[in-house]
Amino acid sequence: MTTVQQTKRKLLSEDWYRHTASGVELLVSDCNTCGHRWFPPRSACSSCASEDLTRTHTGARGIAYASSKVHVGGAPWPKEYVLSYIDIDGVRVLMHTNSDQALTPDTPVTIALGHIGTDNATELWSYIAHPVGKDIESPEATS
């Protein structure tokens, strides 16, 4: 007997990343005037106010700068979850992390899409860090 899943999925911040064969790449803006790189992408540079920006993307690999296992989660987040600051091609991005414990600083990670919380019956998905060596759950496989 099969049960029909009623769970819906919502992609958070989906304008800020793209899904490729190598994983999830973050969309960024490079300022052609002063050289600053911005995530999320911006229409004007927050350093020099230039509007001469190029939209580009990072790779799908980064390094954990710092990490913590949070034990006081409340809806829509899980009761416990790991957050990490991930350094990835010039930007530092906070993301949920597929790990039971905080990552040691400088742990290499890959970026993929993952389930980060549940708002009523809707699964919230966003970019998520996977310490290298861990299997990555493919969103296609669970669709």
Partner 1 sequence: MRNVFVAGAAVAPFGKYKDSTPAELGGTSALELMQSVGVSPDRVDTGFVGSVYGGSLIAQRVLQRVGISGQPIFSVENACASGGSAVNLAFQAIASGIADSAIVVGVDQLSTFGGGALPLTTADVETAQGVIMPATYAMRAQRYLHQAGAEPMVLDRISVKNRGNGAHNPRAHFQKSITLDDVAQSRRVADPLKLLHCCPNSDGAAALFLCSEDFGRDLAVDLVRVRASVVRSGQFHTSYRDMTWPDITERTARAAYEMAGITAADLDVVELHDAFAIAELLHAEALGLTERWKAHVAVTAGEFDRDGRVAVSPSGGLLSRGHPVGASGVSQLCEMYWQITGTAGDLQVPGASVALTHTTGGGIFGVDNGACSVHVLAAD
Residues that bind partner 1 (CB under 8 A): 12-13, 36-40, 46-47, 65-74, 77, 81, 83-85, 87, 90-92, 94-96, 101-102, 104-105, 116-117, 126
Token pair recorded at residue 41: 């992408």
Site string for Zn ion, 35-54 (x = CB under 5 A): -x--------x-xx-x----
CA distance 76 to 82: 14
- Of the candidates 21, 105, 99, 25, which has an alpha carbon nearest to the alpha carbon of residue 61? 25
Residue 12, number of CB atoms within 10 A of its CB: 13
Q: Does 132 bind Zn ion (CB under 5 A)?
A: no
CA distance 138 to 23: 9
CA distance 113 to 11: 9
Which is nearer to Zn ion, 49 or 132 (by Cβ)?
Answer: 49
Q: How far is the CB of 90 from Zn ion (least distance, A)?
A: 14
Q: How far is the CB of 139 from Zn ion (least distance, A)?
A: 34
Task: Note the residues at the interface with Zn ion (CB under 5 A).
Answer: 31, 33-34, 36, 45, 47-48, 50
